[in-house]
Amino acid sequence: MTELLSIILAAGEGTRMKSSLPKVLHPVGGMPIVGHVARAARQAGSSKIALVTGPRHAEIRERVSALDPEVVHFEQSVARGTGHAASMARELFEKAEGYIAVVYGDHPLLRGENFRAVLDRLDAGLDVAILGFEPVDPTGYGRFITDGERLLAIREHKDASDEERGIGLCNACILAFRAEVFRDLIDKIDTNNAQGEYYLTDLVNLANQAGKKVGYGLAPEVDVMGVNDRRQLARAEKLFQQIRRDELMAAGVTMRDPDSVWLSWDTEIGRDVTIFPNVVFGPGVKIEDNVEIRAFCDIEDALIGEGSSIGPFARIRGGAELGPDVHLGNFVEVKKSKIGAGTKAGHLSYLGDAEIGSKTNIGAGTITCNYDGVNKDKTIIGDNVFVGSNASLVAPVKIGDGAYTASGSVITDDVPADAVAFGRARQENKLGYAPTLKERALAKKAAKGK
């Protein structure tokens, strides 16, 4: 495959988002918009990626580096247009061989196939290939001025004549060049336009003037939609969810009400998994085969083993790892815990910072008291343990294999294997004392009413 350098432009402020968060960091499917663009560039075979951001965009650089540490960062200190922004990556494109693709960073549904739509045209002999699409409403988009399959120019909407605005073929978001052509033309762009900026799209006209072969590829409108405001962000999220649901159902996942299941970009779900309505998957979830996720569960950063049953109303997070055939019932929360095969926690429990063995039963109302206000400590529970209902396990504490804890116990010391632990006060019955307590309560109520 020919070497590919992708230059992602993300220096704009995105003021229409009305947000303190840079536009390209708003998430779609749990990933920043610009992360989707970088991922698509890698899918297309980019060996190097340059990201051009503005002077106040340190957070963009940090977030993208966390997703792809090999991205090289450049800064456009003064906003002077897309052509000027692309020239900031000179350190990389001066040495580039093969192809250079310049792509806008606000297209969250972009795929590697969209890059290939123009890169394949370069493979076929073109010097420049621009990605186009045919929107339902072309208002605001740059128009392709063509002669058959030849692309003569891209006319920005503000600079287009009424006749040119009637053209339905529009500029999308990827401009691809042979590296030597890009280097030869990038510094020849001028500011002779309505905005007084260096337009990247002027490279098309310059390439034609230089006698280069210029054409275009096409992409579906959905793939190349940009995000400029909150309404477009919501639409992008909706489309992303529809795409991911369809992919997973085609791969063998059952969704009882697909429209109510929300997924992340990296959600992995095995075959014969059934997902009930109103389930949300945050980033970092892997679910193995034959799992059942019942209604109203919220799961992120978790592994759920084969044959497990989760919910309804369960929350699993923080690096939780569930082995095969685990059952977590209603209103059970698991955080940063490992749970062994066949273990059950059926009702109303919090299991945080814990290691729990296999075939253990966690009674209703059990909590691991993992936080002392400063530190978080671990609770270790062995195999075949029976933890009685309404137990408080005060970490750090260990409960050995085969042990029992009595219902209502507060366990503060380690419990040896096969032992029974009682951590509660001994019951005392005061015969005939109930009427006295009731009289006191009635008297207190009457006093309040005076």
Cα distances from 412 to residues 275, 348, 378, 424, in angstroms, run: 38, 21, 12, 11
Q: Is 157 assigned a catalytic role?
A: no
Distance CA 277, CA 269 (A): 16
Compute CA 96 distance to the chain's CA centroid, rounded to the nearest angstrom.
31
Q: Quick one: tokens of 112?
A: 């590697």
Q: Strands 392-394, 367-369: parallel, antiparallel or unpaired by DSSP? A: parallel
Distance CA 162, CA 183 (A): 34
Q: Quick one: tokens of 174?
A: 């990827």
Residue type, 29: G
Q: Cβ contacts of residue 380 below 8 Å, gap of 6+?
A: 354, 355, 397, 398, 399
Distance CA 97, CA 100 (A): 8
341: alpha, beta or left? (left if phi > 0; alpha if psi -120 to 50): beta
342: alpha, beta or left? (left if phi > 0; alpha if psi -120 to 50): left
169: Cα within 13 Å, side-chain hemisphere:
18
H or E element, residue 6: strand 4-10
Strand extents, DSSP E, 256-326: 261-262, 268-269, 273-275, 279-281, 285-287, 292-293, 298-299, 302-304, 309-310, 315-317, 320-322
Q: Name the percent of the chain in helix, strand, coil, to the closest 5.
A: 25, 30, 45
Catalytic residue among 73, 84, 107, 347: 347
By the 8 A CB rule, do 407 and 422 touch?
Answer: no
Residues with a catalytic annotation lie at 347
